[in-house]
Structure 1
Amino acid sequence: MEIRKLFESDPELMLLFRIIAELNLQDCWLAAGTLRNYVWNILTNRSGLEEASDLDVVFYDPRISYDETLSLQADLNRRYPAYQWEVKNQVYMHSHNPNTQPYQSATDAIAKYPERCTAIAARLNEQGHLDLFLPYGTADIEQFIVQPTPHFAADPARMKVYRDRMAKKDWTSKWPQLRVEGIA
């Protein structure tokens, strides 16, 4: 599967990329579960974007406060109420993962997400072309494999977060073909 072509072929998804690009946020991407679930849904003959799915917008800008980030999110939810916007400045997000140093960029944060299949991001570049960030490639997403990123696998406290997350998310109830690794 060519993920770039898949994303580019969806007018609604491309509209979302344009909305995000117009925010003019530094190092800004549509990421994580939004895109992972989109691919899994397409592979299982479902609609790519689901009404219940969050739109995970991540960016990195030390000049924007946590409160300003919340205001950006509220503004998006007001202007585009058909979507559930989740806007996260990665400057502040390392504190959610045990024993994690501050991130240096949005892509640094994405590469350190709990699961390799969740470490996916895309954005429109200045020329209007789609950039992808896939630090672990596409095999895990395409083969329905869930496994921890090296960052999570390297630390017992982070692995506990990963295992708790897997139990809470229960993705196999929606995608029974998933093979979840690292939970035993």
Structure 2
Amino acid sequence: MKISLRRVAKYGCADFAPVRTALREMGAKYVALEHQTDYIFVRPDADGGRIKVRDEGRGSCLIYVYARSAKESEIEFDYYEFRDPQLVSLLQSLYGEPVVVRKEREIWSDRELVFHLDQVAEVGQLFEIEALDQAEAAAAQPYMEKLGPLMRGRLEGSNEDHLRSRKRNPSVSSIQADKSASRFERQAKQVTAILKSSPLLEKLLFEAPRLGLRNYYIGAGCIAQTIWNSMCGLPPEYGINDIDLVYYDPDLSAGKEERVARQARELFAELPVRLDVKNQARVHLWYERRFGYPIRPYRTLEEAIDSWPTTATAVGVRADGRYGEWSVYAPFGLDDLLGFIVRPNKAQITQSIYEQKVSRWVALWPGLSIVPWNSD
């Protein structure tokens, strides 16, 4: 299959939280969160020729065959899908060592415009706008005007270029020096360092991948409360009643969810608090019965977290075993969490639910700054 793609703009980005807000306001929709590893091989038989193998952890690989050109913003490539696990090794024997690009890609879209919020290992945070043709590229102008002030500046070149530049000068990233990592990256490292030092969460964080869940997070109150305890000099487990482990599985049967929950409880039987395991794909089936009003089904795990009651607790963390790194999903950023601020997220909850939570938290952590429900 032959595909043409136009990259409208590429930026360095310090903080994705305001970008997500702006995308929502302009009508873009969240699509998916993907973990991608690209193996880029140089073809000496073709001028600027490349073969890119993309592994998204789904059992098959996507193959892109293309040629580099002076006009990197416009590219035409042949596209294939393979299920041969030896493909990368075969290409390596033919073309030598590839450039390996590892990234977490958050995808949004608005009609034929596609937006990528990328966290690229050894490069940094990047934001891209892509379109399928020139006409759609023109439609990106309002987005560029809205989002431009949130960026660190326009970038040229591919991730391959930035990684090669990094290898030539390993002390400085092609996007930003380590000491000037994005605000969110610095905050995420601070958060994960605290969580990993918690006796309550340490084993859960490191061993949860053994459950074999393709997409999961440990999140919500246990994350925020562990951070608050650290900031207040309190015991790590203080005030924590349960731990939320959430995942997303299209199988909506209660039996499947219970099997996953039982497996998790057996694996972490020594936890002194309740482990609450929920498939977010089926929350809409019981939400009205518990809270008195219906909600629509969540399309993704991240969409579920987007609806959680406060900006400080709308956080999910997991170990990314493939990269030896950590994934932190925080749709509202981490400022409120680290700033000891509780602010309502009115996407789904009611005022009474918010105020019930706040009253308990203030009694346990009296230093919290509470934003009233009707503050705006």
Q: TM-score, normalised by structure 2?
A: 0.43
| Bigger Rg, structure 1 or 2 | 2
CA–CA distance in 2 between the matches of 1:88 and 1:24?
A: 15
CA–CA distance in 1 between the matches of 2:311 and 2:200?
A: 25
CA–CA distance in 2 between the matches of 1:134 and 1:118?
A: 9
C-alpha change, 1:51 and 1:147, in structure 2 (3 Å) is closer
Aligned positions of 1:38-117 closer than 5 A = 38-50=226-238, 52-63=240-251, 65-83=253-271, 84-94=274-284, 96=287, 98=293, 100-117=295-312
**What residue number does 1:155 align with?**
none
- Cα drift, residue 120 of structure 1: 0.6
Unaligned runs of 5+ in 1: 153-157
- Cα drift, residue 80 of structure 1: 2.4
Cα root mean square deviation, aligned: 2.5
- Indicate yes or no: 2:180 matched with 1:180: no
- Cα drift, residue 82 of structure 1: 2.4
Of residues 331, 340, 350, the one that matches 1:159 is 350
- Cα drift, residue 111 of structure 1: 1.1
**What residue number does 1:123 align with?**
318
Unaligned runs of 5+ in 2: 1-186
- Indicate yes or no: 2:336 matched with 1:148: no
- Cα drift, residue 174 of structure 1: 0.5
Once the two structures are superposed, residues 78-125 of structure 1 have per-residue CA deviations (whole angstroms, 9 ceiling, x without a partner) of 342222211010012245264532111111101110111110110011
What secondary structure is seen at the aligned counterpart in 2 of 1:86? strand
Is the 2:216–2:318 contact (alpha carbons within 8 Å) kept by the matching residues of 1? yes
- Indicate yes or no: 2:7 matched with 1:7: no
- Cα drift, residue 64 of structure 1: 5.2
What secondary structure is seen at the aligned counterpart in 2 of 1:118? coil
What secondary structure is seen at the aligned counterpart in 2 of 1:4? helix
CA–CA distance in 2 between the matches of 1:150 and 1:163?
A: 9
C-alpha change, 1:76 and 1:4, in structure 2 (3 Å) is closer
Identity of aligned residues (%): 24
CA–CA distance in 2 between the matches of 1:172 and 1:53?
A: 15
Is the 2:249–2:279 contact (alpha carbons within 8 Å) kept by the matching residues of 1? yes
- Cα drift, residue 65 of structure 1: 2.1
**What residue number does 1:139 align with?**
335
Structure 1 window deviating more from structure 2 (119-128 vs 72-81): it is 72-81
Is the 2:309–2:354 contact (alpha carbons within 8 Å) kept by the matching residues of 1? no
C-alpha change, 1:170 and 1:11, in structure 2 (3 Å) is closer
Is the 1:66–1:89 contact (alpha carbons within 8 Å) kept by the matching residues of 2? no
CA–CA distance in 2 between the matches of 1:133 and 1:120?
A: 6
- Cα drift, residue 12 of structure 1: 5.8
* Equivalent AA in structure 2 for residue 85 of structure 1: L
Count of matched residue pairs: 178
Is the 1:41–1:47 contact (alpha carbons within 8 Å) kept by the matching residues of 2? yes
CA–CA distance in 2 between the matches of 1:114 and 1:182?
A: 13
- Cα drift, residue 141 of structure 1: 1.2
Is the 2:252–2:282 contact (alpha carbons within 8 Å) kept by the matching residues of 1? no
CA–CA distance in 2 between the matches of 1:163 and 1:6?
A: 26
What secondary structure is seen at the aligned counterpart in 1 of 2:244? strand
Aligned positions of 1:24-35 closer than 5 A = 24-35=212-223
